[in-house]
Amino acid sequence: MRMAIRAAVALAAAISACGALAQKPASQPGYPARPVRFICPYVAGGAGDIFTRTIAQKLTEALGQSFVVDNRPGANGGIGTELVARAAPDGQTLLMGNSGPLTVNPVLYKKLPYDPIKDFAPITQGTSYMYVLVVPAALPVTGLAEFTALLKAKPGQLTYGSTGIGGGNHLAGELFNLMTGTQSVHVPYTGSAAALAALLGGQLNYMFDTVITAVPHLRAGRLRGIGVTALRRASALPEVPTLDELGLTGFELTQWQAVVAPAGTPKPVVDLLYREVALALKMPDVVERLATQGGNQLVGNTPEEFAQVIKDDLAKYAKLIKAAKIQVQ
């Protein structure tokens, strides 16, 4: 009897193990062969850097090789993006892809050293993120109506910061000007951390900041949140209404963070990375850091679905940039 029980237990364990093996995605033989360079085209400490490091840690744990973050900021993300476009298509160099360099720069600049469609292999869209309109606590406004009235009373006198011309927070500011009929001065910085420091230091009057970097300052009372740029409230800031709720009907400007490889990267590598990142985006600690704290919507779509997002956004930003008459020097 005991032998029969032991045999049954062993059989059940074997079946369970086979099931686990069947569920585990097949990996590309020999990949990663060495530490993987994961380029973030933005400065350390910003939302893009936080996303990159979070995903890099999970890929390191899952695939047994280090995914090393390499920050290469500049040109609205264009410098780091070009590096990946020119890298060998072997999966050993990845990009933290962002709306700016992949869907804004191509319609903002007449010439780019890369093509967003031809030079990259989309892996997966990690997040869809919004911005929050923030003002210093000392600015004498408590809501959208007062803030808009102040802008109209001082046309061209108030300033707002961004991560650079064509950055998401710049585009949010231009869309805001168009929809409210106001004028203000755009001041570009080299990254979100520098712009936020200027706002906190009194050199700027307002900013459309990412939720993940604004939350600590909102909680501390150094900044005041006016509204968010998505059609839903941020889970990290449930008390801050959407600009759409506040009367700017249809106001929506969200962007994304993603994982991208050079064009020509073997499909088994792309598929493996897609599966691992999609799994990571469901992990509680990742959800806590990127969604609950950061106000992001976590996505994890397929490479094919993500490719369509890129094409759709290219058309959307071309329309906004033309309407706002945004030009680069």
pLDDT at 14 over 60: no
pLDDT, one tens digit per residue, over 176-212 is 999 999 999 999 998 888 999 999 999 999 999 999 8
DSSP 317: H
Confidence band for 45, pLDDT divided at 50, 70 and 90: confident
The angle subtended at Cα 243 by Cα 209 and Cα 125, nearest 5°, is 55
How confident is the model at residue 40, as a pLDDT? Answer: 98
Sign of the torsion angle spanned by Cα atoms 319, 40, 291, 197: negative
Sketch the domain layout of the chain as residue ranges: 36-128+255-324, 131-228
Q: In three state form, how does the secondary structure of 33-81 look?
A: CCCEEEEECCCCCCHHHHHHHHHHHHHHHHHCCCEEEEECCCHHHHHHH
298: Cβ contacts below 8 Å, ≥ 6 apart: 126, 127, 281, 282, 286, 287, 290, 291
How confident is the model at residue 188, as a pLDDT? Answer: 93
> Rounded to whole angstroms, how far apart are CA atoms 97 and 120?
10
Whole-number average pLDDT of the chain = 90
**Model-wide pTM > 0.95:** no
pLDDT, one tens digit per residue, over 75-104 is 878 999 999 999 999 999 999 999 999 999
> Rounded to whole angstroms, how far apart are CA atoms 280 and 291?
13
pLDDT, one tens digit per residue, over 214-265 is 999 999 999 999 999 999 999 889 999 999 999 999 999 999 999 999 999 9
Asked if 36-128+255-324 and 131-228 have one fold, the answer is: yes
E strands along the chain, which residues?
36-40, 67-71, 93-98, 120-129, 131-136, 159-162, 185-188, 206-210, 223-228, 255-262, 297-298
Compute the average pLDDT of residues 153-175. Answer: 94
How confident is the model at residue 15, as a pLDDT? Answer: 38
For domain 131-228, the CATH class is alpha beta
* pLDDT, greater one: 190 or 135: 135
CB 271 within 8 A of CB 193: no
pLDDT at 60 over 50: yes
How confident is the model at residue 28, as a pLDDT? Answer: 55
Sign of the torsion angle spanned by Cα atoms 54, 91, 274, 61: negative
> Rounded to whole angstroms, how far apart are CA atoms 316 and 57?
33
Options 3.40.190.150, 3.40.50.720, 3.40.50.150, 3.40.50.10320; CATH of 36-128+255-324: 3.40.190.150
How confident is the model at residue 329, as a pLDDT? Answer: 63
How confident is the model at residue 17, as a pLDDT? Answer: 38
* pLDDT, greater one: 3 or 108: 108
* pLDDT, greater one: 29 or 45: 45
Confidence band for 10, pLDDT divided at 50, 70 and 90: very low
Residue 276, CB-side half-sphere exposure with 13 Å CA sphere? 23
pLDDT at 328 over 90: no
